[in-house]
Structure 1
Amino acid sequence: MGFGEESYGQFTITQDLGLQYRQRLRYPGLWKQIVGVRTYLNQVGINLDQLIWCKVGTEYMAAFWLDYWIGNQPLYMVFPLLFALEKEKLCSIADRVIWDNTGVNLTWVWNRSVMNNAEELQLQNLTTLISNFNVAAGRDEWIWKLHLSVGFSVADIKNKAAVYNRNITEYIFLWNNSIPKKVGVVSWRAAMERLPTRAALAARNIDVRDTRSTFCGEYEETNEHLLASCQFSQTIWSVIVQWCKVPPLIAFSFKDVLDLHLTVNGSKRRKKVLNAITQVVVWSVWRVWRMRNEVIFNHASPSVVKVVEEIKTMAYLWIKNRMRSSGWSWSDWRSFNFVM
């Protein structure tokens, strides 16, 4: 067997052996309970062994080969040939290293003497690594790598577990309690591309014959077109922004429509009202779209004026009652002239 093969095989065996010994380590105090659930946390992508480090002080109580305390990995992973020679694999740092005024003193307990060139090279590298290591003042301290200044927190675990093996959407939808949940759900589904438009149905292999918009018949019926770029919806948005006294809406996507409240100045309350109105507009346009059979078969033409009046009325009733703004009169609302 060649030297390369022997080293690789030894490395694999040593890695497994190191993991077996890690299971027998004793962690101090609270860490013992935390490490006790490492198996369950590994299932959600959290490796506690990599996140718990020992900041070596005067006690040197961390495990020399198995703990994370020097470099970027445990020493048994960096120097597998030496770990295979180690007689006391659970030894502490104090068993192997003493830092004093004379420098660094190393003590080894091998199963046999270091013999080949590969073992000699690893021993030289390990000696150099330890010689350049600076011991911290005070006692040993176990630290949490995710937040060095704060320390371990359950919130860190929850946050890492929550995103394990999941796709995180780039857009964060704002749920607004000033309107009914059913209204917000329509905007949320549209933002997530989950409305059953003709293009969406065709993408699911549902035969819709024609994916063009019901209203204009020119462009593909997608969420973006239906709620943002269709002439019918654009006309409604134009009237709404004039009514709300905000700058003209320039939307490159549907998410730009939902973020209209972020483009205007004013209080948080004003922004919340504008966001609620935006979601009511989406809900109303969606309701008109759902009546597309009447448009197709009875040649009906959706009325912009009727939809805008519905938006103003429903938004007034929902927002006024849910925000407990008894001072808002209907006449003030229609002119969008009231205190927010």
Structure 2
Amino acid sequence: MGKIVCGSNSQVVVGNGDQTLFWLDKWVGSSTLASMFPSLFSLSSSPSAFISSLRFKENSIWRWEIHFRIQLTGDLVFQYFNMLNIINSVSFNDYEDKREWLWEANKFFSVKSFYHFLIDGGLRFDCSNLWELTIPLKVKFVVWLALRNGLNTTDILAKKGIILQRTCCLCTKSDEDHSHLFLKCEFVYSIWRSLQFKLNTDKDFSLSSVKEVWIQWTSGYKGDSNLKRRVFICSLIWCLWQERNDRIFSDKKKSSLTLLNKIVTFSTFWLGSEGISARAARLQARRRKRAAAAKGVDFGSKDTATVIQLE
């Protein structure tokens, strides 16, 4: 019970690091290092180590001594150095660590606030800012599952006894799982690169999970910039999952460029921009004409409301 009360619902103002868990406490922002770098955490030799036990002083310079059960290679090395950049930005002092309770304005624990926290849905998810977005609920649900590796990709279906073709239907080169489908697939690579340019960011997307991308792409940004990143990631996940299902169950395929245009169109519409792209306007017009032909209703009036419907 103590871990539930303290770990997930508090953050730490670090002093000397003697009472702060390196992986499991929130001391580098609103997330733990374990949630930001789950692959590294799963390989850690000391998952419950305190910060002070992983630091040592050499020639008046503080250094980190973080051990793993295997030799880090490939993408894990880049993740490790990314983590070092984050933790090296934190200043340490001689005073004791101070723990702050998240659910009270004065930062002190109270039974009342903990009670309200429990009846408000239990332990909160790191990416709870997903639910603040003004996007369709079904999109939020798909994204929420993707962040938790909970979508029925072929590897998960196989564990449930449902056997489908394991090879990714987008690239036809590797087995499908969450990491491959949304992050590592060759088909998806050009789309992520285009979003990097669109969002003017150099944040990496070649990470181990969608959750890591969500946290790293949105951390450090506020206001409209943060909102835009979250919406574009949601649109990408939704459109990719639709494309994957269309290919498997309907034998329909879109090019990566067509899919990118769809992602941008949905994102622009969800963000409520007045300057919806010309492509979105054409899409509206075509759907109005199809609706008019199917229902025998005159949609030519300028007063008629138009909405981009999700396919």
TM class by shorter chain equals 0.3 to 0.5
TM-score of the superposed pair, with normalisation by structure 1? 0.44
Higher-Rg structure is: 1
